[in-house]
């Protein structure tokens, strides 16, 4: 196992996707939600926001920040000190800036990989077809040469070196599994070439400048969970993994001949804890009505003479039947996505009872069933089994709550989304006022509905917004001011507004929506 000589935590981030080193600072880009991203820096003074971008990806080249919209047509904006705006016909996905401040763009025209080169003023000056690669995924520019990596028609990784007129100068076959993986980055120093290969198995592939393979390092060899991005600088390799930078000496990674010991990486599954707490919440919420229903049913059956149980057996029977009813009601209600979101947000806010209360529901239900079916006559055994089940469920509860607390900040609950037309209209509204945070919504519906329905939305989304919303609902019209200034940035403005409008539409059928930004 190769261990990092130091690990730098990245505080204040969500999930960084790329970074670069500029002077003494580390500059990062991350998509905080599907619609928004941000550039930020980490230095001796801590976290500092540099710039927000909307509906774009980010690129950091030569100390400059770029936003990139990738689609049928590609749009590149330099958003720092010397702004430029370039629009390209076609899909382009990797970009580098050469020593003359030209922007070198890698894309695909549907048949071939293409490199287009633009001047610093946005004028197209060169177009190169990469015939030696079936699909190129990454480029690196050094002086007068362009390195491109991708895979061939035979699904082999290949690295090629060309000049600015497209002449092939060198090519190397990369001895690594290309199945469902891409070479996402190329770094080159005087002696070696480093490739970041991403997919189901991330790796850093290291080869000599002559093409000879040195080794391929996987996250398990480096004692980390993933390799998101990396930078080679000053005889050191900086690797971005999750929310930290792992720093290695190049000599440590390249020249160490000890056998690498694979470190097992345990994948965390937060679905099971959430499912557990959702079951408990369902039981609690529906238990009273289920108890009453079970007593009525039991009394009716008993009066007909179809059942003859002792007192303890009757209690077990009613309790077990109540649990079955409560779960059935909850599962029936969970068919609605709105209800599922309510439960998940309720749990996410930690609006859940203390552990003993949660566990009592679970272990009592389980033991009631077990006792009723098998050992209801053996009361001493019942007591022992109840004690064991209580301890076990308390332990399970503690473990699951710990798992949730550990990952709570990273969890994003998928809200109601609405249709494409709604998203398009909201996107146009937000694009015109990206820096505005307060919006006045006027939503007219076809029929009135219970105001408690809106209060449920307000209660469950308040932790996303960081506050309650101010609203009135009168004469089939919702009027409210939604302040987005303190929202959890993992949720975009579009997703929150679409969620509210769709939620209201589920009960009232929306006829008309008017929105405007307010101070």
By residue range, what is the domain housing residue 471?
420-518
Same-domain status, 322 and 389: yes
Q: 378: pLDDT confidence band, cut at 50, 70 and 90?
A: low
- Helices and strands counted in the chain (H then E): 9, 28
Same domain, 312 and 342: yes
The pLDDT of residue 187: 97
Which residue is associated with the tokens 């198995």?
Answer: 201
More confident residue, 430 or 371: 430
pLDDT in tens, 391-432: 776 777 777 776 666 666 777 888 998 888 888 888 888 877
366 in any annotated domain:
yes
Looking at the structure, tell me whether residues 285 and 389 fall in a common domain. yes
Render pLDDT for 15-41 as a digit per residue (tens, 0 to 9). Answer: 899 999 988 789 999 999 988 999 999
pLDDT at residue 145 in the model: 96
Yes or no: say if 226 and 217 are a contact pair by the CB < 8 Å rule: no
Alpha helix positions (H), 38-149 = none
- The string of DSSP codes covering 147-202 is EEEEE-TTS-EEEEEEETT--EEEEEEE-S--TTEEEEEEEE-SSEEEEEEEESS-
* C-alpha span between 14 and 32 (Å, rounded): 6
Q: Is 499 inside any structural domain?
A: yes
Q: Are residues 424 and 405 in the same domain?
A: no
**Within-domain flag for 360:** yes
Instruction: Verify that 303 and 434 share a domain, yes or no.
Output: no
Residue 363: predicted pLDDT: 55
Asked whether residue 239 carries a pLDDT value surpassing 70, the answer given is yes
Do 441 and 384 fall within a single domain? no
Do 381 and 460 fall into the same domain? no
- How many domains in the chain? 2
Same domain, 280 and 389: yes
Same domain, 397 and 292: yes
pLDDT category of residue 212 using cuts at 50, 70 and 90: very high
- Pair (276, 404) in one structural domain: yes
The answer as to whether 134 is a domain residue is: no
Q: Report yes or no on 470 lying in a domain.
A: yes
Q: Is residue 376 part of a domain?
A: yes
Predicted local confidence at residue 265, as pLDDT: 43
State the average pLDDT over residues 79-91. 85
**Judgement on whether residues 382 and 497 belong to the same structural domain of the protein:** no
pLDDT at 264 over 50: no
> Considering the entire predicted model, what is its pTM?
0.77
pLDDT of residue 230: 96
């Amino acid at each position: 196992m190769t261990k990092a000589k130091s690990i730098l935590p990245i505080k204040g981030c969500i999930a960084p996707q790329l970074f670069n080193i500029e002077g003494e600072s580390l500059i990062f880009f991350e998509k905080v939600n599907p619609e928004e991203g941000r550039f930020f820096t980490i230095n001796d003074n801590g976290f500092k926001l540099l710039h927000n971008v909307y509906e774009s990806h980010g690129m950091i080249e030569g100390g400059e920040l770029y936003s990139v919209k990738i689609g049928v047509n590609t749009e590149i904006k330099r958003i720092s000190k010397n702004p430029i705006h370039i629009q390209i016909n076609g899909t382009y996905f990797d970009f580098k800036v050469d020593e003359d401040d030209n922007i070198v763009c890698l894309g695909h025209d549907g048949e071939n990989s293409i490199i287009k080169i633009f001047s610093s003023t946005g004028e197209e000056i060169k177009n190169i077809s990469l015939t030696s690669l079936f699909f190129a995924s990454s480029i690196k520019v050094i002086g007068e040469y362009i390195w491109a990596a991708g895979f061939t028609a035979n699904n082999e990784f290949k690295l090629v070196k060309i000049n600015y007129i497209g002449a092939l100068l060198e090519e190397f076959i990369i001895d690594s599994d290309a199945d469902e993986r891409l070479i996402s980055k190329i770094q080159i120093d005087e002696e070696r070439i480093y490739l970041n290969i991403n997919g189901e198995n991330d790796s850093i592939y290291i080869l000599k400048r002559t093409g000879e393979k040195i080794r391929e390092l996987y996250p398990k060899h480096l004692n980390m969970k993933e390799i998101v991005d990396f930078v080679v600088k000053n005889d050191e390799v900086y690797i971005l993994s999750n929310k930290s930078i792992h720093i290695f000496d190049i000599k440590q990674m390249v020249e160490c001949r000890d056998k690498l010991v694979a470190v097992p990486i345990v994948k965390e599954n937060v679905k099971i804890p959430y499912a557990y707490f959702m079951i408990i919440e369902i039981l609690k919420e529906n238990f009273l009505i289920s108890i009453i229903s079970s007593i009525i049913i039991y009394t009716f059956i008993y009066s007909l003479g179809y059942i003859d149980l002792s007192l303890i057996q009757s209690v077990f029977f009613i309790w077990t039947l109540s649990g079955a009813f409560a779960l059935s009601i909850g599962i029936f209600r969970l068919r609605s996505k709105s209800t599922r979101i309510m439960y998940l947000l309720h749990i996410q806010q930690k609006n859940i009872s203390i552990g003993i209360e949660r566990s009592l529901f679970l272990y009592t239900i389980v033991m009631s069933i077990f006792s009723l079916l098998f050992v209801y006559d053996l009361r001493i055994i019942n007591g022992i089994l109840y004690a064991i089940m209580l301890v076990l469920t308390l332990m399970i509860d503690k473990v699951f709550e710990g798992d949730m607390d550990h990952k709570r900040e990273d969890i994003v609950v998928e809200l109601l989304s609405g249709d494409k037309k709604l998203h398009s209209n909201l996107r146009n509204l937000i694009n015109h006022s990206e820096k505005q945070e307060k919006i006045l919504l006027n939503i007219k519906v076809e029929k009135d509905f219970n105001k408690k329905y809106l209060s449920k939305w307000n209660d469950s989304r308040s932790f996303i917004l960081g506050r309650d919303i101010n609203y009135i609902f009168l004469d089939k019209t919702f009027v409210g001011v939604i302040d987005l200034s303190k929202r959890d940035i993992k949720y975009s403005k579009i997703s929150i507004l679409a969620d509210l409008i769709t939620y209201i539409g589920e009960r009232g059928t929306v006829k008309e929506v008017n929105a405007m930004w307010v101070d």
